[in-house]
Amino acid sequence: MTTIGLIRHGITEWNSLGKAQGVSDIPLNDNGRIQATNMGERLSHEEPWDMIITSDLSRAFETASIIGSIIGLPIRHMDERVREINCGEIEGTTEEQRVKKWGTEWRKVELGMENFKDVANRGIDFLKDIVCTYKGNRILVVSHGALIGLTLQKLLPQKFQQTYIDHTSITILSHIEDKWDCSLYNCTRHLNHTLS
């Protein structure tokens, strides 16, 4: 069995302000670093992982680095396929600013945003490669909310018609005999209390 733990990066200033980030390379803020530390502490008390792979965007890389430093795992490599959806012209804007600029139907305007289907496809492509290359391993993947959510919706459509992925949540997938299963979804228990 191959196990993949999908972790969303810690929070950033743009997340706090409600700004679309996409591929803009925004660093973690102090709260994001605390969230990543909490996740690392949690994982240090659970079954060990074999490797960490991360998106190439700094907020994911820093989250992965913090977690890895606590559980004693270096980052294996970065992979652009698990970077966030490209949000085109809306990057750096809030919902209020988008409505003001393009109207309430701004989602129907061509603003250079990456297609949801394409995002899901690169997520699936990544997962297929991982289970082929690292069969039987336990792999942590630090990525982004839209990428994780859209990938889950395509991978297990009966289970995930809609998704919401919290900062530093973990979702655990297992792959055995060409079948996928999700044993844990969007878990943030490490943010709710101090782990012993």
Give this prediction's pTM. 0.95
Catalytic residues: 9, 84
**pLDDT tier at 193 (50, 70, 90 boundaries)?**
low
Cα 33 off chain centre by:
15
Tens digits of per-residue pLDDT, 124-139? Answer: 999 999 999 999 999 9
Number of Cβ atoms within 10 Å of the Cβ of 99: 13
Q: Domains of the chain, with CATH numbers?
A: 2-192 (3.40.50.1240)
Strand-by-strand arrangement of the 75-78 sheet: 75-78, 51-54, 138-143, 2-8, 170-176, 179-187
Residue ranges for the binding site for substrate?
A: 8-15, 59
Cβ(1)–Cβ(174) below 8 Å: yes
For helices 145-155 and 116-133, angle between their N-to-C axes, nearest 10 degrees? 80
Classify residue 192 by burial, with Cβ atoms within 10 Å: 0-12, 13-18, 19+. Answer: exposed
Tens digits of per-residue pLDDT, 73-105? Answer: 999 999 999 999 999 999 999 999 999 999 999
d(C-alpha 116, C-alpha 61), whole Å: 23
Nearest alpha-carbon partner for 54 in 15, 10, 116? 10
